[in-house]
Structure 1
Amino acid sequence: MTFKRSVWGTAVLGAALFSGSAAAGVSVNVGAVSEYMFRGIAQTGGAAVQGGIDYAHDSGVYFGTWASNIGFGGGTEQDLYVGFSKAFGDVSFDVHSTYYWYPEEDEDGSDLSTLEFAVGVGYGPVSLSYAYAPENNFFIGDGDGKEAGYLSLSGSFPITDKLSFDASVGYYHGKEIERFLAGIGSSDDTYMDYMLGLSATLDGGFTMSLQYIATDIDAGTNDDPKFVVGLKKSFDL
C-alpha cells in the first residue's frame, strides 16, 4: 500500500489510501514515469525516477517518505507523511499530513517546501478527499505562499484480475491558485484536472500504467494533455 501516491503521481491515490487492505509492516515501491504529473501539472518536463518506503501499523497509523526528481527547485522533491487510515466494511476513512520538502531549493533561490493536511472517505473502489495547505509554496516558490485547497474524487475499477480502469477529477482553489494562474496569464482563479487510465498487475510485483492527464487551464503549456506511461515494483520488507 502506497500512502502518499503511486510512483506515477496521481494514478490511484484515492483507492490506495482508502483500501484498508495493507498489512502491518514495511513496504517499498520504486519505478519510473515518462513524465511526473502532480494534480495535472508537469513537474519534470521529461522522465522521472521515483520511489518510497512506508510503514503501516495494525492500529491504522502509518508513515513514510517518497521522492522524485523534478525540473525545478534544485532537482529533487522528497515528501514526508504521517496519517491514520481505517476501514469498516466497504467504508473507510483517512487523515494525514504531508510535508513537501525540496532539499536543494536554495540552489535556485526558491522557497518551495509546503505542509499540507488532508482528510478523505472511501466507499468500495471510490474515494473523496480534501487537502489544505495554509501556506502553499510549491506553485510559485517566492516565500509568500497563500492558502490553497484541493478536492479530488478518484477510483480504480477492476476489469479483469490483473487490469483496472483508473479515473480521477480534482478541483484546486484558494489565494495561491489565483496567484499561480495570474502568473501564467490565465484569467481564471481556480482550475480542474482530469485523469483516465489503465493499470495492469504484472508478475514479480510489477505494475504498469498508461494515463491521459489534462486540465482546464487556458494558458501556456498547462492546457496541453499528457499521455504518461509508468512502471513500478512494490515489495514488502
Structure 2
Amino acid sequence: MKKALIASVIASSFAFAANATDYSATLTGASDYLFNGISQTGEDPAIQGSFDIGFDNGFYVGTWASNVDFGSGDDANAEWDFYAGYSQDFADGWNYDLMINQYTYVGESDYNYPEVSAAITAPTDTTLRVWYTWKQFGQSNLDHTYVQLHQGYAIDEIWGLEAAYTYSKALSGPGADTYWYGKDHYSNWLVGVTASYQGFDFALNWQDTDIDNAKEADGRIFFSVSRTFDFK
C-alpha cells in the first residue's frame, strides 16, 4: 500500500507538468558521491544530473541521477531517483518542505526503496530535515531514519560557509542492530566553503563519520562544481 501510494503521488505530479511555471536542469561533477559521509562510488568521482519542475502553488517534481559503485560482485552502476514535494513560506524568512522520494538502482533493483522527509528552514539559513523509510536500501521491514541540521552563511554575493551534522539510525527490523558496520547508528558532519560565480556553484568541504572500520566512511576532502539551467 505504501509503495503504491508513493508511485501514485509521483506519477500524478508529473502528469500536471503541463501547468508548471519553472523548469530547471542541473549538472554536477564531484570528487565523490558521499551519502551522509559514506562513498557511493568506491571513492571515485561522480557525474550527476537533475531535472526539476516547479508550480506556482508550491508543488514540485523532479528526478536525479548519479553513477554508483558498491564494489566487485555488485551490479549496481547508477542511482536514479524520482521525487515530488510541496514547499511554502509561512512567515518572514521561514519555509517548510515536504517530500516523497523513490530511490532506484540500475542493475540492482532489489536495492530500490521509498523515503519521506520533512524540513523547516529559518531566516538564519538554518535547515532541520528528518527522513524516514520502512525499507532501507531495499531491506523489507527495516525502519530507518536520519536527521540533519545544516547551517549556511553568506559572506558576500560570491562566497559562503556551510556546516552540517547528520545522525542516522536503524530503528527496527532485520539486522537493525548491526546495520551500520556493526552498530545501529552513526553520525557524520561536514564543514566547508561555497562559491557562486558566472552561473557556476562550487563546494569545498571536509566530511567525516564516526565509523572507524570502513574505508568508504573515512574522512575526506570533497569538491563539486554545478551549473543550473533555468527554462521559463
Q: What band does the TM-score fall into relative to the shorter chain?
A: 0.7 to 0.9
The yes-or-no answer on 1:70 pairing with 2:65 is: no
The yes-or-no answer on 1:79 pairing with 2:77 is: no
Q: 1:51 offset after TM fit, Å?
A: 0.6
Does the 8 Å contact 2:150/2:164 carry over to 1? Answer: yes
The yes-or-no answer on 1:171 pairing with 2:159 is: no
Which residue of structure 2 lines up, in the alignment, with residue 232 of structure 1? 226
The yes-or-no answer on 1:161 pairing with 2:157 is: yes
Question: 2-side partners of 1:164 and 1:152: how far apart?
Answer: 19
Question: 1-side partners of 2:58 and 2:218: how far apart?
Answer: 39
Q: TM-score, normalised by structure 2?
A: 0.82
Which residue of structure 1 lines up, in the alignment, with residue 4 of structure 2? none
Question: 2-side partners of 1:223 and 1:96: how far apart?
Answer: 27
The one-letter code matched in structure 2 to 1:37 is L
Question: What's the CA shift string for 1:148-180, capped at 9, x where partnerless?
Answer: 001110122101211110111011112365332
Does the 8 Å contact 1:93/1:122 carry over to 2? Answer: yes
Q: 1:222 offset after TM fit, Å?
A: 4.4
Q: 1:44 offset after TM fit, Å?
A: 0.4
Any unmatched runs of 5+ in structure 2? 1-19
Number of matched pairs: 202
Which residue of structure 2 lines up, in the alignment, with residue 19 of structure 1? none
The one-letter code matched in structure 2 to 1:128 is L
Question: What's the CA shift string for 1:187-208, capped at 9, x where partnerless?
Answer: x3211110111111011x1111
Which residue of structure 2 lines up, in the alignment, with residue 196 of structure 1? 191
Does the 8 Å contact 2:99/2:118 carry over to 1? Answer: yes
Which residue of structure 2 lines up, in the alignment, with residue 93 of structure 1? 96
Q: TM-score, normalised by structure 1?
A: 0.80
Question: 2-side partners of 1:202 and 1:41: how far apart?
Answer: 28
Question: 1-side partners of 2:67 and 2:141: how far apart?
Answer: 22
Does the 8 Å contact 1:102/1:112 carry over to 2? Answer: yes
Question: 1-side partners of 2:113 and 2:190: how far apart?
Answer: 24
The yes-or-no answer on 1:26 pairing with 2:20 is: no
Which residue of structure 1 lines up, in the alignment, with residue 128 of structure 2? 128
Larger radius of gyration: 2
The one-letter code matched in structure 2 to 1:71 is D
Question: 2-side partners of 1:29 and 1:197: how far apart?
Answer: 21
Which secondary structure state, in structure 2, belongs to the residue aligned with residue 178 of structure 1?
A: helix
Question: 1-side partners of 2:147 and 2:179: how far apart?
Answer: 17
Which secondary structure state, in structure 2, belongs to the residue aligned with residue 231 of structure 1?
A: strand
Which residue of structure 2 lines up, in the alignment, with residue 149 of structure 1? 145
Change (3 A) 1:87 1:24: farther
The one-letter code matched in structure 2 to 1:28 is A
Any unmatched runs of 5+ in structure 1? 1-22
Change (3 A) 1:232 1:216: same
Tell me the C-alpha RMSD between the 2 structures.
1.7
Question: 2-side partners of 1:177 and 1:217: how far apart?
Answer: 16
Q: 1:24 offset after TM fit, Å?
A: 3.9
Residue from 99, 103, 106 that aligns with 1:103: 106
The yes-or-no answer on 1:119 pairing with 2:122 is: no
